[in-house]
Amino acid sequence: MPANPRALIEKIRALPPERITEVEDFVDFIAYREEERMLTRAASAMSTASFAAIWNNPDDDAYDAL
């Protein structure tokens, strides 16, 4: 969150209408990208336990030392 959200809002209000549309598109893009990152992290966290049985085995110990 910005240090001063009101200042950001005032800067946006001072823009011409076509630039406000660009700002809105950019904010939507950032929000979408963050949502994708959160989903990726959640999927990774959920799969860790499943992969632990595969990754943690004596046959693959040699790879752990690399």
pLDDT tens by residue, 17-54: 999 999 999 999 999 999 999 999 998 888 888 877 77
In the predicted structure, residue 2 carries a pLDDT above the cut 70: no
pLDDT attached to residue 60: 74
DSSP, collapsed to helix, strand or coil, labels residue 66 as: coil
Q: Where are the domains of the chain?
A: 5-64
In whole angstroms, give the CA distance from residue 18 to residue 36: 27
In whole angstroms, give the CA distance from residue 22 to residue 49: 42
pLDDT attached to residue 1: 54
pTM surpassing 0.85? no
